[in-house]
Structure formats: structure tokens, C-alpha cells
Amino acid sequence: MRVWDEERTIAVRGVTYQVCAAGQGSPLALLHGFAGSSAHWAPLAPELVARGWRIIAPDLLGHGRTDAPSAPTRYAAAEQVTDLASLLGELVSGPIRLLGYSMGGRLALHLALAHPERIAALVLESASPGLDDPAELAARQRADEELATAIEQRGLDWFADYWERLPLFASRQRLSAERRAALRAEWLAQRPHGLGASLRGFGTGSMPAVWDRLSELRMPVLVIAGALDTRYAALSRAMAARIPGSQLVIVPEAGHTVHLEQPAAFLAALERFFGRLPDR
């Protein structure tokens, strides 16, 4: 079944981005997580389109069919924010609704802080504002570097085996075999050097923490996490407490990937949130 109405490449600052889009109505940009791509949103795309949204799903830097520069510095938060601001500006006139999952949630948060006038509403799913404890930050930097090196040396089959066994994704075992196979295929379609550079340049250990800037967000914000993902549920509660007027949804029986594990509850949360906004 065809998911996307449009697939195109857009050159931004010396990098070619792949972008998929579908539907009409209010534009909603979707930012995938680490080792993902626009394909990650395919299971949810028909439901989002049916609700009257035009969804725009770019492959983020180093992922999917977007270019994968070798220099980790090109993946820094400020660099990717500048890319996305230009990319979305070419696709949409005026402010856009933005949904980011995991790594994409971190990037969405940085984009909203850098260009608040461009974001009509923000959804942060299983996201983090970064690490502000020096010891925890140093440990994460080491872990990100070790994983980057392992991916480059051992390859994508090793990475897929490692990634699906992470405790963070344990609740994904409840997904259908078909859905789990699609996720694995998405990981195997990546490039080792792109994942390695992304970890080094924009891993949680490399990105600047923005806890002290959350109070600057003035657009409507929905923070969502799965109850089974206790770490990110706690982070989401702490974030929501610092974001003025934000809404918090903790979805029962869902882990890190709420939109795939409990899609009905996820979509209902989006409908309630977007339904309160003007010009739905």
C-alpha cells in the first residue's frame, strides 16, 4: 500500500535531505529517532492523514536516504537546527506543528528553542533535554563513542541484534512479528558511518543540556511517554513541570515507542492536544 503522496530530495547547506509527505490540511512535521527514517512513521501515517493533517517526514542527517557527512561536528545540535529551519521553510509557509520522537524529540526541542516563531505547537515523545550532571554526561559520552565504534567495526547486523535487546525497547516484544521485522529492516538500511557520526555529534552525551531553558517555551507543548519506560516517564514529568502551560500524557502499557506500542492512545492524545489549538 502506498503511504506517501510525495517523496523528494532537498539540498540544504551542502547536504541533500530526503523528505516524504502525505495528506492535506495543517502541516505536521515528524522527526524520527536514532537509526530511524521516514519509514518509521509509515504505520501511523494513514491515521494521521485521515485526521486531516499533512504529514512531513524528513530522514534526519546521517539516516535513511539523507546524506551522511563523515564529520561529527556537522551533526551538532546547532548545525541540524539550521538545516531543519531551512528545510521546513522550503516546505511550509508559516509556523508548523512539530512532533519529535526520542532523538527526534531532542532535535525538535532545540529547534523550538532556537526558532520559536516557526513552531505552532510542539509534541515531545520519549524525549530528553540532555544531561546536566558532569559525571553522567562523561559516562554517556564514553558509551556513545563505544557504540559508534562498535557499529562501524561490527556492522549493521550486529547493531540490529544489540539494539532490539536493549532494556529500553523490551516492551516492543509485544508488537507483531511483522512490525518488529519492519523496525529491524529500518535499522539494516542505515549506514554505519552515518550512525557513528550521529552518535558522536548529536548523541545525548554530546548535545548541550537545555533544562534551564525549558521555561522559555511559549507555544503549546505536549509531553508524552510510556508508563513502562520509567526513565523517560520521569524525564517527561520533570520537563512538563518546567514548561509553562504544557500538557503531560503518560500512556499505560507503553514503553519508549508509544506511537507504535499504543497507537490508539497516542493518536487520541494528539487529537485532544491539536483539537484545542486554533485553525485545526
| 210-232 tens-digit pLDDT | 999 999 999 999 999 999 999 99
Q: What is the mean pLDDT of the chain?
A: 96
* Pairing, β 26-31 against β 96-101: parallel
> Which phi-psi region, left, alpha or beta, contains residue 141 (left: φ > 0; alpha: ψ -120 to 50)?
alpha
Output the pLDDT for position 190: 98
Please give the pLDDT value at position 79.
Answer: 98
CA 275 to CA 261: how far, in whole Å? 23
| Confidence band of 2 (pLDDT split at 50, 70, 90) | confident
Domains along the sequence of the chain with CATH: 6-129+209-275 (3.40.50.1820)
Distance (Å, whole) CA 170 – CA 243: 29
Q: 195-215, pLDDT tens digit by residue?
A: 999 999 999 999 999 999 999
Record the cell numbers describing residue 174, joined without a space.
Answer: 509485544
Is the pLDDT at 1 greater than 70, yes or no? no
* pLDDT 10s digits, 24-78: 989 999 999 999 999 999 999 999 999 999 999 999 999 999 999 999 999 999 9
pTM of the model: 0.97
Output the pLDDT for position 279: 59
Distance in angstroms (rounded) separating the CA atoms of residues 55 and 46: 10
Predicted confidence at residue 82, as pLDDT, reads 98
Q: How confident is the model at residue 280 (pLDDT cuts 50, 70, 90)?
A: very low
State the Cα torsion 56-95-86-236 to the nearest 10°. Answer: -70
Average pLDDT score over residue span 4-17: 96
Lowest model confidence (mean pLDDT) among 115-119, 181-185, 273-277: 273-277
Mean pLDDT to the nearest integer, 82-93: 95
Q: What is the pLDDT of residue 277?
A: 79
pLDDT digits (tens, 9 = 90+) for 239-257: 999 999 999 999 999 999 9
| Helix locations, 155-245, DSSP H | 156-164, 177-188, 192-202, 230-242
